[in-house]
Each structure stands twice: as structure tokens, then as C-alpha cells.
Chain A
Amino acid sequence: MGFISRGFHGRPRDEGVKLPPGQYLVHDFPVLSAGPTPRVPLDRWEFAIDTEDGRTHRWSWRELMALPSETPTVDLHCVTKWSKLGTAWKGVSLDTLFADVESSAEYALVYSYGGYTTNLPVEDLLDGKAWIVYEFDGEELAAAHGGPARLLVPHLYLWKSAKWVQGIRLLNEDWPGFWETAGYHNYGDPWREQRYQGD
């Protein structure tokens, strides 16, 4: 048995809800950042999908807003061990954005304004599993939480849900992203507790 700090409990962790292993529940929305918050004016904002054969599909902010939107309510699991349940978002399903994209690539590298990257299999972006979201809790998405728009892939640890998303590059080979090249798990399934390489 290791050292115990008498009377120390930390934040409440057991509230009778089923969370992925090692996670605790929060009710606020912690802000994590690995760098300065990029500020992208909407008239210069653009989202792109670049295919493996060099074609690029682009959407301006107005074009994104004109697409059919969805309002997913999902649970978030951050690799730093907090989970937040029942978060309400509004955005465009990646199925909608991929509708006219011809690609047989298996891997995606998501890149963001400010230089962040993260990788995941293309199949984890499709079939109702991922969105480009621009509203949280009925309000426009704040820059601290990734606004104007971020990726939302709630079935993976939250570092995969890139803030300030700028585009998705489709690749025939896997290309590990910012945290994936610094010790974090390449896939990041919270229910299998895939936090670090080798987990």
C-alpha cells in the first residue's frame, strides 16, 4: 500500500454513474490547451478535406452554415481523467461533408488553426460518429473550447476532437499527430483505457 494523504479525497469521483475506467465526473468544462488560442475571423475561416490523390474540398463559414445540421448530445472523456456527461452540441455530420468526397484512404490526419494535429481511422469519422460542431449548449462555440468550430468524435478520448479544426487530410498511411507522437495511444478508446502507447 502506498502513501495516503489523511483526509484527502480530491474532487468527487463516485456518483453512481458508469464511466470509462479511471475517469471521474466533472460538472464544469475544463479548458485544456497546448498553446495560444488561435483567433480566426469567420470571413477567412475555411474547412477542407484533402484526399489522398490531391483533390481538396473546401467550405467557407457560410457554406458550412448552409449544410443540414444535427444536435448530438454526447459524453466527453478527457485523457487527463475527467468526463463530462450529456453535452449538447450543434454541427454538421462528417457523413454530410464526406458525401461528395471520393476516397479509399483508411487514415485521417486532422489539422487545426494554430498547428495542432491528431490522427484516427477514417471509419471513426463516418456513420454518425463525428461532427464539425459550432455551437455548445445553445451558444456559439467559444474560442477556448475550440470555436469557431471543432471536431467532435466523442467515442474517443477528447484530444481526438481537435479544437479550431481547419481540415482533414486523407492518407493511405497512418500519420501520428501531436499527442500520438509524444507517448499517447494511437487510437484512444476510453472504454479500453487506451491512454498511452502500449496500453
Chain B
Amino acid sequence: MTEPAQDSYQDGNALAGPLREIFAVDVTAAGGQCVHCGLTGPVASLRVYGHAPGLVARCPGCDEVVLRLVRGPESAWLDLRGTVSLRIPLPAQGVPDGSEAGPA
């Protein structure tokens, strides 16, 4: 029986594909906050344990679970209870500039 050299995890970047299957935007670039220790940072900086029945993303500060994703044949389960909130960068929304304003 062999021991792995170390606890092997990947960066949150590894969530990009599985999450893009669910969301229309790239969530790995989103900023999030850990429920357990309050650390903020991009989803891409989480530690992802993928040699498991699902993907388990842990906070790099406190190792607690921030996000879990399980992909079944017909459904995905996404658990974000370790996340306070996600700030997702989006293209600027059309801000009215007055040019289409009605008659004065």
C-alpha cells in the first residue's frame, strides 16, 4: 500500500469545466468569502480535492469546505453552504446615456 507524497489537491481552476456545465459565466473568477473564517478570494484559489466521489473545494485559509459539486448521470448537486456570497464579474450593463431619452 503506497502513501501519496502529500495531500494532493488542485486549485479552484479545476472547477472551471464542471461549473461551466451549470453556469453561463465563469464562476472561478468570482470572488467569494468563506463562511468559516471569513477569508475572501477568487474561487480559483480554493483547494479542490477531486479524487473523491465529487469535487470538494476547501478554503486555503482554514481547510473547511466552501463548495461541493457532485455530477450524476442526469443531475448535478451543488452545495455552496460554505460560501457567504459570490461576486461574479459581468459585462457592464447598458447604462442609459440620455440619447434615447424621450422628448424634453
User: In their complex, do chains A and B touch, with some C-beta pair under 8 Å?
Assistant: yes
Residues of B within 8 A of A31 (CB): 4, 51
Q: Which residue of B lies closest to A157 (CB)?
A: B53
Judge whether A36 and B77 touch: CB under 8 Å.
no
Judge whether B58 and A183 touch: CB under 8 Å.
no
Whole-angstrom CA separation of A196 from B7 in the bound complex: 27
Using A137-B1, A196-B75 as known contacts, say yes or no to A179 and B7 having CB atoms under 8 A apart: no
Using A34-B56, A35-B63, A143-B3 as known contacts, say yes or no to A182 and B77 having CB atoms under 8 A apart: yes
Chain A interface residue number, banded? 20 to 34
Judge whether A179 and B70 touch: CB under 8 Å.
yes
Residues of B within 8 A of A142 (CB): 1, 3
Q: Which of the residues B1, B2, B72 comes within 8 Å of A136, measured between beta carbons?
A: B1
Give the Cβ gap from A148 to chain B, nearest Cβ, in Å. Answer: 14
Residues of B within 8 A of A36 (CB): 7, 58, 63
A191 in the interface, Cβ–Cβ < 8 Å? Answer: no
Give the Cβ gap from B73 to chain A, nearest Cβ, in Å. Answer: 8
Judge whether A183 and B1 touch: CB under 8 Å.
no
B52 in the interface, Cβ–Cβ < 8 Å? Answer: yes
Residues of B within 8 A of A159 (CB): 53
Judge whether B53 and A79 touch: CB under 8 Å.
yes
Whole-angstrom CA separation of A112 from B79 in the bound complex: 20
B65 in the interface, Cβ–Cβ < 8 Å? Answer: yes
Residues of B within 8 A of A37 (CB): 7
Whole-angstrom CA separation of A160 from B84 in the bound complex: 29
Judge whether A35 and B1 touch: CB under 8 Å.
no
Interface residues of B, Cβ cutoff 8 Å to A = 1-4, 7, 49, 51-54, 56, 58, 63-65, 68, 70, 72-73, 75-77, 79
Closest 7 CB pairs of A and B: A183-B77, A183-B70, A196-B72, A34-B56, A34-B52, A36-B7, A182-B70
